Chains A and B, each alone.
Chain A
Amino acid sequence: AQSVTQLGSHVSVSEGALVLLRCNYSSSVPPYLFWYVQYPNQGLQLLLKYTTGATLVKGINGFEAEFKKSETSFHLTKPSAHMSDAAEYFCAVSDYSGGYQKVTFGTGTKLQVIP
């Protein structure tokens, strides 16, 4: 069965500092991996996704993530945090489970950006 672990339910960074949000997954087959962002009182929207090919994936708003198969990780980074990045971030994995393709989300990481 697939699973997703996000280390740190809350992360605080200073404005302009590096953002690093961690995600580790388990999957029996090569997975599809996603990062979604949720702004307050809104639904989730896709930041970026990895399917196949290049392991460094670039997304919206300057975010990127690197798929590392050996470490079963898909950490999200941004070189310089903006105040507008304050939100909750969810990592998700999709693979086959019981004959159907299924999506599992992590528990989320709330990012606080300090002025």
Chain B
Amino acid sequence: EAQVTQNPRYLITVTGKKLTVTCSQNMNHEYMSWYRQDPGLGLRQIYYSMNVEVTDKGDVPEGYKVSRKEKRNFPLILESPSPNQTSLYFCASSLQPVNEQFFGPGTRLTVL
């Protein structure tokens, strides 16, 4: 089944404790992206990747890192999480940005 998977689905952590949210797709897509969703603000792009080893900042990249060492995986790293990073995070992939994006189920992160 074609899908985007994210882990964990739910995470509660404390300020400053490094964490990684994994994202994997099995559709051989080149384009992958991370978004955060906050009430009233919609989806805001954090980082995106056009292909392996090609990543760029989105609209809200501060406090986040990404890497794209393999085509299927695009982890999101929070080196020192802060409470303002409490949010719902989505990973998405598509053949190209102009194509339909396939979204993961989301990761709800709470930083205390």
Judge: A and B partners, yes or no.
yes
- Which A residues are CB-close (under 8 A) to B59? 104
Q: Does B97 contact A (CB under 8 A)?
A: yes
Q: How far is the CB of B5 from chain A (nearest CB, A)?
A: 11
Q: Does B43 contact A (CB under 8 A)?
A: yes
The residue on A at minimum CB distance from B57 is: A98
The answer on a CB contact under 8 Å between B45 and A104 is yes
The answer on a CB contact under 8 Å between B40 and A9 is yes
Q: Does B74 contact A (CB under 8 A)?
A: no
The answer on a CB contact under 8 Å between B105 and A43 is yes
The answer on a CB contact under 8 Å between B33 and A103 is yes
The answer on a CB contact under 8 Å between B35 and A105 is yes
Interface size on B, residues (CB 8 A): 25
Mark B24-41 against chain A: 1 for CB-CB distance below 8 A, else 0: 000000000101000011
Q: Does B81 contact A (CB under 8 A)?
A: no
The answer on a CB contact under 8 Å between A102 and B48 is yes
- Which B residues are CB-close (under 8 A) to A44? 43, 90, 92, 101, 103
- Which B residues are CB-close (under 8 A) to A100? 48, 50, 56, 97
Q: Does B75 contact A (CB under 8 A)?
A: no
Give the size range of A's interface with the partner: 20 to 34
The answer on a CB contact under 8 Å between B42 and A94 is no
- Which A residues are CB-close (under 8 A) to B105? 42-43
The answer on a CB contact under 8 Å between A101 and B104 is no
A43 to B42, CA, bound (A): 13
The answer on a CB contact under 8 Å between A108 and B42 is yes
Interface residues of B (CB under 8 A from A): 4, 33, 35, 40-45, 48, 50, 56, 58-59, 90, 92, 96-98, 100-101, 103-106
Please name the 3 residue pairs, one residue from A and one from B, whose CB atoms are nearest each other, closest first: A43-B103, A107-B42, A101-B97
